[in-house]
Amino acid sequence: MKKLTTPLTKEKVRELHAGDTVLLSGTIYTARDAAHKRIVELLDKGEPLPLDLKDAVIYYVGPTPAPPGRVIGSAGPTTSGRMDAYAPRLIAEGETGMIGKGLRTDAVVQAMQEHTAVYFAATGGAGALLSSRILEAEVIAWEDLGTEALRRLKVQDLPLTVVIDCAGHDLYKEAPLQYKKG
């Protein structure tokens, strides 16, 4: 088990390998497809972003409302493929980490290799458990998107698995081959 703290520099990313388990602490951001679309629109217009993408980690999550006494509700990962149209651009702009679940396109993996980024999986169906690792949550942009608003989170020991590393090794593709070999 590796312990990581943000910012997630390229040097830290290079030390990660598909299959590694990680406990991530520090500041991360939430964004789903609607927020990703707005980020890319701002980039296209040359306008300032509400977050700094350099060495940033974005969690693909739309958390539920916070129950009394909690900073956030259930915070399980959403399917990453919905962000694949936008991810290569954000990676090229400095994003070094993505958290979600599910397969990624070849274009995303190629951008990860070219710009040194990593894709982490968070356990689907464990949103209540994952939310217990979130210490602070603040909407920083696009409150009109509701659950898909851009948020800044402070996390402590968020449990993740490196699914695709910056060399392009993909646990989703390689693990079944290892299993078949016996």
Question: Rounded to the nearest 5 degrees, what angle is found at the Cα of 124, between the Cα atoms of 117 and 171?
Answer: 45
Beta bridge partners of 111: none
**Residue 36 · residue 60 · CB < 8 Å:** no
pTM metric for this prediction: 0.95
Q: What is the residue type of 150?
A: L
**3 state SS for the chain:** CEEEECCCCHHHHHCCCCCCEEEEEEEEEECCHHHHHHHHHHHHHCCCCCCCCCCCEEECECCCCCCCCCCCCCCCECEHHHHCCCHHHHHHCCCCEEEEECCCCHHHHHHHHHHCCEEEECCCCCHHHHHCCEEEEEEEECHHHHHHCEEEEEEEEEEEEEEECCCCCEHHHHHHHHHHHC
Active-site entry in 17, 36, 115, 169: 36
What tokens were used for 130?
């994952």
Q: Which of 127-131, 132-136, 139-143, 165-169 has the lowest mean pLDDT?
A: 127-131
Give the distance from CA 57 to its chain's centroid: 5
Give me the chain's average pLDDT, please.
95
Burial class (CB in 10 A: 0-12, 13-18, 19+), 126: middle
Domain ranges of the chain: 2-181
- Of 118-127, 131-140, 143-152, least confident by mean pLDDT is 118-127
In CATH, the architecture of 2-181 is Alpha-Beta Barrel (3.20)
The 10s digit of each residue's pLDDT in 38-96 is 999 999 999 999 999 999 999 999 999 999 999 999 999 999 999 999 999 999 999 99
Whether residue 115 lies in the annotated active site = no
